[in-house]
Amino acid sequence: MCARVALVTGASAGIGEATARALAPSSRLVLVARREDRLRSLAAELGGATVIAADLADPDCHARIAETVRREHGALHLLVNNAGARWPGAFAETGWENVARHLLIDLEAPVRLTEALLPLLRETAAALPAGAGEDPVSIVNVASTAARIGRPGAGGYSAAKFALAGWSDSLAAEEVAHGIHVGLVLPGFVQTEGFPAEELLASWRTRWIVARPELAAEAILRAAGWGDRRPRAEVYVPRPYAAMAALRTLTPALVRRAVATGAFTTAARPRD
């Protein structure tokens, strides 16, 4: 069996880097992020990878990425839309401008990249031999628990992530006929260089809500259905966050009151 091809955005640090490391033993990697030096260092450490330095906010980069993947690999088995950004601020102070830049990075960028790569993903799925036990061709979109619960100071981020989650559901229904699985990963607090989580980790009362990037990477592989895993529609990291999302559906007024009083907080996920 030929090695599968996996593309990871935001691969220069955090969840993206951890995902690349998890995929490296069994995949040909395509690493995408803005920081080329970090990508090349990671590629060398992992024994080689295709490195594409790109700012996904640039509308001209998505076609270039797709052309590079097609030229160098001729297939794509997994797309991980992980790169994202968050800029805190109340709407009254930051206004539409802050919402718009979240929509650009956290929604438009993964949608445009998926659009550019979808023909190759479909071709790859169509070429898989029937009943061969191959891992599915998958798209995994990394959203956030902010895609289920809006919090003070994170309205722009939630707007983009809510939209990403809804779009993922629609895309999953559309692409199942083409042999493509679409999964969604919803991280809460994940310890990264941009969010060391020192205060949360210092107390046993809050330590449980913080996950390491490796746990998020495992969630991405579970959502994709790779490595003898069953494909999943949604995976929360850490898993107890799923209960908060369920409460939001069952008791929205209660959750709103809890959020307003500071019972829930939001972690910042840095851009790649």
Say if CB 167 and CB 115 are below 8 A apart. Answer: no
Dist CA 148 CA 115 (whole Å)? 24
Q: Is 259 left (phi over 0), alpha (psi -120 to 50) or beta?
A: alpha
Order of all β-strands in the sheet with 27-33: 50-53, 27-33, 4-9, 78-81, 137-142, 180-187, 234-237
Q: Residue 91 corresponds to which tokens in the numbers above?
A: 């709407």
Contact partners, residue 137, CB within 8 Å, separation at least 6: 76, 77, 78, 121, 124, 125, 128, 179, 180, 181
Dist CA 240 CA 231 (whole Å)? 20
Say if CB 129 and CB 107 are below 8 A apart. Answer: no
In the chain, the N- to C-terminal Cα span, in Å, equals: 32
CA 212, chain centre distance (Å): 15
Q: DSSP secondary-structure letter at 216?
A: H
Q: Is 236 part of the annotated catalytic residue set?
A: no
Dist CA 161 CA 155 (whole Å)? 10
Closest CA to 159 of 211, 213, 94: 94
Catalytic option among 11, 50, 117, 157: 157
Catalytic residues: 157
